[in-house]
Amino acid sequence: MIEASTLNVDAKRVNDYRDAAAAARYGASVTLRMDDLSTVPIDDVLDTVQRRLDRRLALEAGRYSRVNGTAGFPTDAGTWVRLGWRRPGRLDAHAWTGYEASQVLDERIPRPRWIATATWPDPVRDAVWRADEMTLATTPVLSQTAEISDDPQLPTRWWGDLRTALDRLAAHATDRVTLGQAHLTARIQEVYGPLDTTITDWAVAHGDLGYANLCGPDLTILDWESWGRAPVGWDAAGLWMASLPVPHVADRVADTFADVLATRSGQLTRLMLCANVTRAARRTGRDVPRAMRTAADTLLQELDPRRFR
C-alpha cells in the first residue's frame, strides 16, 4: 500500500476527493469522510444527479445534514431531490428503498410523493449514491434538527392531523422493520441491567419522527427512508424525546399520544431512547440532561417496581 504521506492524505479518513482519487490510482485504501456533504467536493456527483434525473438543481438553495451524509435541493421542475450515499458493504435494502416503498401507504397520510430515483456506484469514494426526486413540501420544516429549542406554536389542528396520520400508518401491514426486539433489548439492558423488555404490540411506524422531518403549520411528514414495523408508540416516543427541551411541548406530545405511550411497549421505547442518550453521554463525558434522567427513573419504576422496593 502506498504511504499516506506520499499523497498527503490520511490512509483511514480523507476529506478531499482529489486526494482520494490519487490514492485510489495507487491502490491505497482510503475512506472519504462524508458525514457532512457541504464540506466535501461533490460537484461531479451533483452533475451526475442532474444528468440522470434530467433536472436542474438550485444548488444555492441546498440543505445539508451535518451528521448523516444527506443533502436536498429544489429543482427547476418545482420538485425536490434528496441525495444520500451508503458504503457498498453496508447497504440496507429496506432503508435504501424506503421512498418508493412508501407509495403503498394510505394516500391520506400527508407526505411528498416519490417521482424517480437514480443510483450509481462511486469506487473512488467507496460509496453508492442515490438521488430521489419527489414532490416539494409546501410548508417549512419545524426545525433544522430533530429537537426543538423553542415552541413551534403549532395549531390544535396540526396535532390532530399528526395523530390521524400516524394512526393510519400504524394500520398498514408490511414486512419492513424499523426497530426490532433484539436491538431494543440490547440497548436497554446495556444501560439499565436485567429487565423484561418483551414487546407484544407492534405497528407500522415512520421510524425517524423528529421536528426536522415535520412541516407546519400544515402537516407534511418528510423522510420515509426507514419506515416499517416497530413497537407500538415508537414514533410518539421519538417525538416526545425531541420535545423535552421545551417541557410544555413534551407535555402536548404526551397528551396527544397518551394511550400508546402508556402501554408497556410505549414505556419501553421511551426507556430505550433514554438509554441511547445515556450511552452517548458516557462516551463523550457529558452529563445526561435532567429531564432524561427523571424520565428514565419514572419509566423504570413503572416497568419494574420490584427494583425500587
CB-CB neighbours of 142 under 10 Å: 19
Report the percent of the chain where pLDDT is more than 70: 89
pLDDT band at 19; cut points 50, 70, 90: low
- The whole-number average pLDDT for the span 256-265 is 97
Examine the pLDDT at 59 and tell me if it is beyond 80: yes
Examine the pLDDT at 110 and tell me if it is beyond 90: yes
CB-CB neighbours of 288 under 10 Å: 16
Q: Which has the higher per-residue pLDDT, 306 or 261?
A: 261
The C-alpha atoms of residue 34 and residue 41 are separated, in whole angstroms, by 10
- The whole-number average pLDDT for the span 133-162 is 96
Examine the pLDDT at 66 and tell me if it is beyond 90: no
CB-CB neighbours of 147 under 10 Å: 15
**DSSP character for 247?**
H
> What pLDDT score was predicted for residue 308?
65
pLDDT band at 82; cut points 50, 70, 90: very high
The C-alpha atoms of residue 3 and residue 9 are separated, in whole angstroms, by 9
CATH code of domain 156-308:
3.90.1200
Examine the pLDDT at 2 and tell me if it is beyond 90: no
> What pLDDT score was predicted for residue 245?
94
> What pLDDT score was predicted for residue 262?
95
Q: Express each pLDDT in 156-208 by its tens digit.
A: 999 999 999 999 999 999 999 999 999 999 999 999 999 999 999 999 999 99
> What pLDDT score was predicted for residue 309?
61
Cα–Cα distances in angstroms (integers) from residue 56 to residues 48, 139, 248, in the given order: 11, 22, 43
Length of the chain: 309
The C-alpha atoms of residue 309 and residue 304 are separated, in whole angstroms, by 10
